[in-house]
Amino acid sequence: MGKFDFYERDACLLLEDLGKIAEPSFQEYETTKYIVNYLRENNIPLDKVFATGCFGCIDCGAEKTIALRADIDALPTNPEGTDFKHLCGHHSHTAMLLLALRYLVQHKDQLKVNIRYIFQPAEELGNGALFMMKEGCLAGCSEIYGVHVDPHQKLGNILLKPGEFMAGATMFDIEFTGNSTHAAYPHTGDDVLVAATDYVNLCQKIITRFKNPIKKAVLSFSQITGGQAHNILAEKLLIKGTYRYFDAEVKELFEQKMLAIAAAIKLIYEVDVTISSVEGTVPLHNHPELTRKLIEVFTGTGLHVNTNLDPMMGGEDFSFYLDECPGVFVKIGVAGNNGHPPLHNKNFFVPVEAVLLGAEFWLDLVMNQFTEKEK
């Protein structure tokens, strides 16, 4: 029996309630109200409450304060962006931390460190962490920890990897503009579609011919829109995509070569090419020594520690916290024996057992990681 099995009913209720009010980034109004009400009902101190998101501290009088973070936003399930669901499991992260805080505040006399908790909005936009940091959520904290569910790992597994863990991400829009004409007479106008497809193909050479093959990177073009009829060459065409990286030199290479290729396409096809980029997350590097300590804490417990894994090319704005404060980002498995729907899939779900294990993870991290009370 796990430490939190007696909270199973509460965990089910949290998952159900938070699932019903799933909301998009920086619009998590009802979610924030629900979290705040839960905290107040369980006498968990609050420091700051925003329209979306909040943070507080369980202060046991220790000299050291560590931060625990959960994200709270959901994703759209339809193209119109009117329906939302927790396709990335953020409601489960919230439930894990709420249950853990409820237990910890009831056993405050056993704490060896102060606990700063952070319920963060807008992880999916990649800037919720920056908002919370600007509001002072890391003030006085010497370490920070975060968790995320992982459908590729079995229930009961936790992933702990020192150093490179998740990639930096940049998103881009590229607009091609030319003179529209009849499709039967392409020589009388500009073919932005051919120009765009050549651009996409040439950009793949950044990965295969210009990047050091030892360096990890991904370049993906994910959306193309334009045109209005079978027999009209479009005037405008828009391409969207993203590139992922771990090294600053690779990021700079993407920026330089994508601009250079755009200039070449403009010269050859006599079309205008405009690139707009949005900085996403920075690369996420787990603190080596703190990760090693966590591995020691959880090896031999009911959770299976998996350290044999490659860095992941997904982005995570927890990386911004780690740029300011040492810490560790951890993945918690949710898959059964027959696999699990992937993240962002319409059928994705989190079993209640994973929430209980996540709460237990927080408890063990807080209660067992430190051996001496700070004076």
Q: 5-165+283-368: which CATH architecture?
A: 3-Layer(aba) Sandwich (3.40)
Instruction: Please give the backbone phi and psi of residue 357, each rounded to the nearest 5 degrees, phi first.
Output: -70, -35
pLDDT digits (tens, 9 = 90+) for 133-143: 999 999 999 99
Convert the pLDDT of each residue in 97-111 to its tens digit. Answer: 999 999 999 999 999
Q: Which amino acid is at 225?
A: T
**63-80 burial by CB neighbour count: b if 16+ within 10 A, else e?**
ebbbbbbbbbbbbeeeee
Predicted pLDDT of residue 146: 98
Amino acid at 343: L
Report d(CA 343, CA 350) in Å as an integer. Answer: 10
Phi, psi of 279 (to 5 degrees): -70, 125
* Residue 82 reports pLDDT greater than 80: yes
Domain boundaries, the chain: 5-165+283-368, 168-279
At 343-353, the pLDDT tens digits run 999 999 999 99
**Counting beta carbons within 10 angstroms of the beta carbon of residue 342, is it exposed (0 to 12), middle (13 to 18) or buried (19 or more)?**
exposed
C-alpha span between 193 and 4 (Å, rounded): 57
Is residue 209 pLDDT above 80, yes or no?
yes
Q: How far apart are the C-alpha atoms of 200 and 207, rounded to whole Å?
A: 12
Q: Which CATH class is domain 168-279?
A: alpha beta
- Rounded distance, CA 106 to CA 128, Å? 29
Has this prediction a pTM greater than 0.75?
yes
